[in-house]
């Protein structure tokens, strides 16, 4: 499947069930969606914003990671009652946020400093 989003196209390559589930980042994930944004555009990325099954249950967005081929992998967990899924993906520009934090003072036992919002 593909969907045109601005100057890019979002390609969904496959949805794969994992049995047994994949263990990654303190979780178990039984479904994996893979896709790619074409053309690759610096500062633009895709995220899985929402996953709901046919009952309307929010299954959470799970986790995401880049594959060796540059494509994106979205791992999430479904229950045994899940028969159909409604997936919401977001294509967005990255925002860079920079923080400046002062270390805790041993004599006052307080934090000093400020956080700065960086480039957008």
User: How high is the pLDDT of residue 106?
Assistant: 61
Please name the residue that has the structure tokens 């990654």. 24
Q: Which one, of 50, 53, 43, 60, lies nearest residue 96 by Cα?
A: 43
Model pTM score: 0.69
In a domain, 69, yes or no: yes
Output the domain CATH number for residue 50.
Answer: 2.60.40
In a domain, 102, yes or no: no
**Number of domains the chain is built from:** 1
In a domain, 110, yes or no: no
In a domain, 21, yes or no: yes
Please name the residue that has the structure tokens 């060796």. 68
In a domain, 6, yes or no: yes
In a domain, 11, yes or no: yes
Distances (CA, A) of 62 to 21, 54, 67, 113, 120: 13, 18, 16, 34, 26
The one-digit pLDDT tens for each residue of the chain (120 residues) are: 899 988 889 999 999 998 888 888 778 889 999 999 999 888 888 888 899 999 999 988 788 888 999 899 999 888 888 899 999 988 888 888 888 888 776 665 555 555 444 444
In a domain, 20, yes or no: yes
Provide the domain limits for residue 37: 2-95
Task: Tell me the Ramachandran region of residue 115: left when phi exceeds 0, alpha when psi lies from -120 to 50, beta otherwise.
Answer: beta
> What is the Cα–Cα distance from 109 to 111, expressed in whole angstroms?
7
In a domain, 88, yes or no: yes
């Amino acid at each position: 499947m593909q969907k045109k989003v601005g100057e890019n196209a979002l390609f969904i390559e496959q949805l794969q069930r994992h049995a047994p589930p994949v263990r990654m980042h303190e979780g178990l994930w039984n479904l994996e969606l893979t896709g790619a944004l074409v053309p690759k555009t610096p500062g633009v990325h895709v995220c899985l914003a929402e996953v709901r099954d046919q009952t309307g249950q929010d299954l959470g967005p799970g986790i995401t990671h880049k594959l060796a081929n540059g494509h994106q992998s979205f791992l999430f967990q479904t229950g045994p009652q899940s028969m159909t899924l409604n997936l919401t993906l977001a294509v967005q520009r990255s925002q860079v946020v920079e923080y400046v934090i002062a270390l805790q003072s041993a004599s006052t036992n307080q934090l000093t400093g400020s956080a700065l919002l960086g480039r957008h």
